[in-house]
Amino acid sequence: MRCQLSDYHVPRKFQRRTPQLAIARLLDAHAEVTEEVDEETVEEENNEDSQEKQGLMELEGIRVTFLPLGSAPDLHKKSKFQKLFNIVFFANSMVHHLNGEVNQTFADDAVVHLETSKFMLELKKEQHEEFNKKVTSIAEGVGCKSVEGLTLNHSTATFVFSATKS
């Protein structure tokens, strides 16, 4: 028996990258299926297989902690978070949470990355400049020192936290 793709309707949930393979799974084992395989498709599938085998990147001595949006104001109240974070990232919508209480969770010499307004497309140049000035003043107000000069081309402002303001 010879089967062709046009002879069968394959439900979407059974389809894979190549419809021929999906039909081969559904047909009787005795059916003969002619299969045209594109070299690029085979190469893509092999690359995906090797990526799946790699899994997550394992780093010794490093733990990433994602926190819920509303947790920033209360972190300093828990002793397990005191001076815990070595690297901190604040999205531009969360910069206002950077204050004298939250910085109690920063380890000495912690690196603090603050997202700038670079990707807020609706802002004008003057508004970007004002936002960057505000971000810098907030960070300096809690004991952070700028690592590099901040320009409109930067997507993040990088600071180093020092427990003793100078």
Half-sphere exposure of 125 (CA within 13 A, CB side): 2
Both 154 and 105 in one domain: the answer is yes
Both 109 and 142 in one domain: the answer is yes
Half-sphere exposure of 110 (CA within 13 A, CB side): 25
Both 104 and 127 in one domain: the answer is yes
- Taking the complete model, does pTM exceed 0.85, yes or no? no
Both 87 and 21 in one domain: the answer is no
CATH code (residue 96): 3.40.50.150
Residue 13: what pLDDT?
Answer: 52
The answer to whether residue 101 sits within a structural domain is yes
Range of the domain at 47: 2-54
Both 75 and 118 in one domain: the answer is yes
pLDDT tens sequence for the chain (166 residues): 555 545 455 555 554 444 555 555 555 444 554 555 556 665 666 666 565 666 777 778 888 888 887 888 888 999 999 999 999 999 999 898 899 899 999 999 999 999 999 988 899 999 999 999 999 999 999 999 998 877 778 899 999 998 775 4
Residue 71: what pLDDT?
Answer: 86
C-alpha–C-alpha distance, residues 41 and 47, integer Å:
10
The secondary structure of the chain as a DSSP string is -EE-GGG----GGG--SSHHHHHHHHS-TT-EE-----HHHHHHHHHHHHHHHH-SPP-TT-------GGGGGGGGGSGGGTT-EEEEEE-TTTGGG-STTGGGGEEEEEEEEEE-STT-TTS-HHHHHHHHHHHHHHHHHTTEEESS---TT-SEEEEEE-SS--
Domain count, the chain: 2
Both 142 and 86 in one domain: the answer is yes
Residue 46: what pLDDT?
Answer: 63
Both 91 and 152 in one domain: the answer is yes
Pairing of strands 2-3, 32-33: parallel
The answer to whether residue 119 sits within a structural domain is yes
Both 76 and 123 in one domain: the answer is yes
The answer to whether residue 22 sits within a structural domain is yes
Both 147 and 90 in one domain: the answer is yes
Residues 6+ apart with CB under 8 A from 118: 128, 152, 153, 154, 155
